[in-house]
Amino acid sequence: MGLTLTWLSVIILIPLAGLFLKTLELSPAQFWEILTSRRTLNALKISFGLSFAAACVNLVMGTIIVWALVRYRFPGRRIFDAIVDIPFALPTAVAGVALTQLFAQKGWLGAPLAELGIKVAFTPIGIFIAMIFIGIPFVVRTVQPVLIDLDPEIEEAAASLGANRWHTVFRVILPSLIPALLTGFALAFARAVGEYGSVIFIAGNLPNVSEIAPLLIVIRLSEFRYADATAIAVIMLLASFVIILAVNRLQRWAQTRIPAH
Amino acid sequence: MSTQTSFVTPEAPLRAYASTAGAAISSLSRREAREPPRAIASPEDFRTEPGPVRFVIIALAVSFLTIFVVLPLVVVFASALSKGFGAYFAALAEPEALSAIRLTLLVAAISVGLNLLFGVIAAWAIAKFDFPGKTFLVTLIDLPFSVSPVISGLVFVLLFGAQGYWGTWLQAHNVHILFAVPGIALATIFVTFPFVARSLIPLMQEQGTQEEEAAISLGASGLQTFFRVTLPNIKWGLLYGVLLCNARAMGEFGAVSVVSGHIRGETNTMPLLVEILYNEYQFVASFAIASLLAMLALITLVVKTVLEQRLDEGQTPRNDLRDDLRDDPSDH
């Protein structure tokens, strides 16, 4: 017991406490100045904005994928079900170089897109693509068990009461998936905000344009501007705490909803 | 909700349904008229969409997964082998590649070993005992999942770096943690700590303490109880945790990148070498290393699927388990 606590504090608690103590060394004015500098603000905007957009895409596409995997039988279904986990399992650096290669101007997908006048690699669109890649398992794996467990009788009841399929899906099934969908959305969003490895290769990393907040932390560290790095890290950490709290609330909400069915 | 319960609901909703119910009956009879052989719709008919809709949904799902998941994976192997097998194996036999592989294996062994030990103890404490601050402990265990890998590396730089809290002392005593193996191992342990504990806690909670109490009352010592009773019960969950922990330990990039210092041939792990070679336009070499990591990921997925089946065969309902094993901080 004591051993566990000691180990946990050495490995997790002390390092995190160190982060906050380091921030306390800054005066509020300094802290504010770092955060409101143009480059920091832009990096935070890029990270949070694109993560939000990517999580929205994941929400829609994740729902479609879950639906196909749970409700339909098609050749290769089990394989597609298994590969949903690849973005979890693939080391982020590997994902990063692979996506860059794929979407670079001479890449398999980059070349046709370039002919359409769309440049993906080394632009914010590249960041967006990488964030979609990294987030998709969160939505699928959060919603999948809920859709599997959904009582078939609800749908039968809706249908026998005259609801057409469209109504049944959008008025009966989707509402009961909402807590799981929002949880998946929040998890995908949180992951995308903090993501580093799979994004930096394809991002181009142009300050103020395609530079994400985690990269700015790394850059500040390599310039030995620890205070700047710490201030950005603290803001991101607080944001992820808020997201965890929201997710916990969602889970509790989902649990109180279940007996209502 | 069953159809029966909907009839015992208060009157208001019943009235609201009354008109639609009529429509349902008439639409049902129209349907009967149109397709007599399947006149009485089977439950399955209510639960699916028309053929074209089904086709579009499947097509969307499959093409999205192909573009975003399958293609990147294929690109890794295609690029690694683009100059033939000779170049591929030559790239892997480079001293730099070999030293990166060795370092990755070493770091993975250290962090999996320590996280296995402390993960089991932490899970044991949380699942089998009640004590104040338990929720706090669980939150603490989950924390590394929700922190950006870069921040996970940063916290160690703040502690051990030249400007860090203990940096001067360490320098004075000639102890190298940052930009050396201990730093890489620490960052990896931080990032991978949750896996073992998180895989075991739900399993151990479900199994309760009865078997252990029985063993102890029959005179077994604490260690005997653990190795003869607890361990056999949790072995598949334990393997599952170790598997995921190992995959993450070998593949971790962000946190390790911050603490490693990128000293070639010394503190480069495999993911870091992938980055360096890629930035030097040595694509074949970079993707050759990347392909090893991709194979690790694929093997991990296959073994994970097998282990999930094993875990299913126990009394644990699959979905609960899946929920708890998922790489996320949401459970508490």
Interchain contact B251–A (C-beta under 8 A): yes
Total count of domains within chain A: 1
Residue among A71, A96, A109 whose CB faces B71 most closely: A109
Residue B331, domain member (yes or no): no
Whether residue B184 contacts residue B260, with contact meaning beta carbons closer than 8 Å, is answered with yes
Q: What span, in angstroms and rounded, lies between the C-alpha atoms of A120 and A126?
A: 5
Residues B132 and B38 reside in one and the same domain: no
Which CATH number characterizes residue B295's domain?
1.10.3720.10
| Residue A3 is assigned to a structural domain of this protein | no
Tokens of B182: 């201990």
Q: Write out the two tokens for B164.
A: 């860090």
Cα distances (Å, whole numbers) of residue B87 to B83, B179, B250, B269, B282: 6, 31, 24, 21, 11
Residue A251 Ramachandran class (φ > 0 left, ψ -120 to 50 alpha, else beta): alpha
Are B129 and B266 in the same domain?
A: yes
Please indicate, yes or no, whether residues B94 and B230 belong to a single structural domain of this protein: yes
Task: Indicate yes or no: CB of A133 within 8 angstroms of CB of B72.
Answer: yes
In a domain, B42, yes or no: yes
**Cα Rg of chain A, angstroms:** 22
Q: Is there a domain that residue B330 lies in?
A: no
DSSP string for A67-104: HHHHH---TTHHHHHHHTTHHHHS-HHHHHHHHHHHHS
Q: Give the total number of structural domains in chain B.
A: 3
Half-sphere exposure of B180 (CA within 13 A, CB side): 9
Q: What are phi and psi of B71, to 5 degrees?
A: -60, -45
How far apart CA A217 and CA A194 sit, in angstroms, is 11
pLDDT at B45: 58
Q: B55: which residues sit within 8 A by CB, 6+ positions away?
A: none
Same domain, B15 and B134: no
Task: Find tokens 């975003």 and name the residue.
Answer: B68
Helix segments in chain A, DSSP class H = 2-8, 14-24, 28-36, 38-71, 77-83, 86-89, 92-103, 110-115, 124-149, 152-160, 165-167, 174-194, 197-203, 213-222, 226-257
- Is there a single domain that holds both residue B64 and residue B190? no
- Residues ≥6 apart with Cβ < 8 Å to A49: none
Instruction: Give a yes or no: residue B316 inside a domain.
Output: yes
The tens place of each residue's pLDDT in chain B, 332 residues long, gives 333 333 333 333 333 333 333 333 334 334 444 444 444 445 555 667 788 889 999 999 999 999 999 999 999 999 999 999 999 999 999 999 999 999 999 999 999 999 999 899 888 888 888 888 787 788 778 888 888 999 999 999 988 887 777 877 887 787 888 888 999 999 999 999 999 988 898 888 888 888 888 888 888 888 888 888 888 888 899 999 999 999 999 999 999 999 988 777 788 999 999 999 999 999 999 999 999 999 999 999 999 988 988 887 764 444 444 444 444 444 44
| B101 shares its domain with B33 | no
The answer to whether position B40 is within a domain reads yes
The segments of chain A whose pLDDT lies below 50 read 259-261
- CA of B313: how far to CAs of B237, B307, B308, in Å? 12, 10, 9
Structural domain including B146 reads 88-325
Last residue of a domain, one of B60, B80, B100: B80
The answer on B165 and B140 residing in a single domain is yes
B26 and B141: one domain? no
Q: Which residues of A touch B142 (CB under 8 A)?
A: 244
- Decide if A68 and B60 are in contact by the 8 Å CB cutoff: yes
Distance, in Å, from the CA atom of A224 to the CA atom of B161, rounded to the nearest integer, reads 10
Residue B242 resides in a domain: yes
- Determine the residue type at A64: I
pTM: 0.83
Amino acid at A162: G
Per-residue model confidence (pLDDT) at position B14: 33
CB contact under 8 A, B151 and A233: yes
Within a domain: A17? no
H-run or E-run covering B323: helix B318-325
Q: Are B291 and B80 in contact (CB under 8 A)?
A: yes
B148 and B11 assigned to the same domain: no
Do B190 and A15 count as a contact with CB atoms less than 8 A apart? yes
The whole-number pLDDT of residue B89 equals: 95
Give the CATH number, domain containing residue A198.
Answer: 1.10.3720.10
Residue with tokens 């639960």: B47
* Chain A CB within 8 Å of residue B165 CB: yes
The predicted structure's pLDDT at residue A139: 95
- pLDDT value, residue B68: 93
**Closest Cα in chain A, distance from residue B169 (Å):** 16
Q: How far apart are CA A177 and CA A175, in angstroms?
A: 5
Judged by CB atoms closer than 8 Å, whether chains meet at A161 and B24 is answered as: yes
Q: Helices marked H in B161-219 — which ranges?
A: 167-172, 181-207, 210-217
Same domain, B41 and B71: no
> B280: which residues sit within 8 A by CB, 6+ positions away?
none
Of the candidates A70, A19, A152, A261, the residue with the CA atom closest to the CA atom of residue B61: A70
Residue A255 has a CB neighbour count (10 Å cut-off) of 10
Set of chain A residues whose Cβ sits within 8 Å of the Cβ of B328: 138, 142, 187, 247
Say if residue B292 is in the same domain as residue B207.
yes
Decide if B202 touches A, using CB distance below 8 A.
no
Q: Return d(Cα B272, Cα B292) in angstroms, integer.
A: 13
For position B324, what pLDDT does the model report? 45
Residues 6+ apart with CB under 8 A from A222: none
Put simply, the chain B residues between 205 and 224 with a CB less than 8 A from any chain A CB are none
- Domain span at A215: 28-260
Cα distances from B200 to residues A85, A92, B62, in angstroms, run: 20, 26, 34
Q: Do A90 and B73 touch (CB under 8 A)?
A: yes
Q: Assess whether B147 and B76 both reside in one domain.
A: no
The closest of B29, B5, B54 to A157, measured between CA atoms, is B5
**How far is it, in rounded angstroms, from Cα A247 to Cα A186?**
7
Q: Is A145 exposed, middle or buried (0-12, 13-18, 19+ CB in 10 A)?
A: buried
Domain end (from B31, B57, B80): B80
Residue A19 is assigned to a structural domain of this protein: no
Residue A20 in domain: no
pLDDT at B173: 82
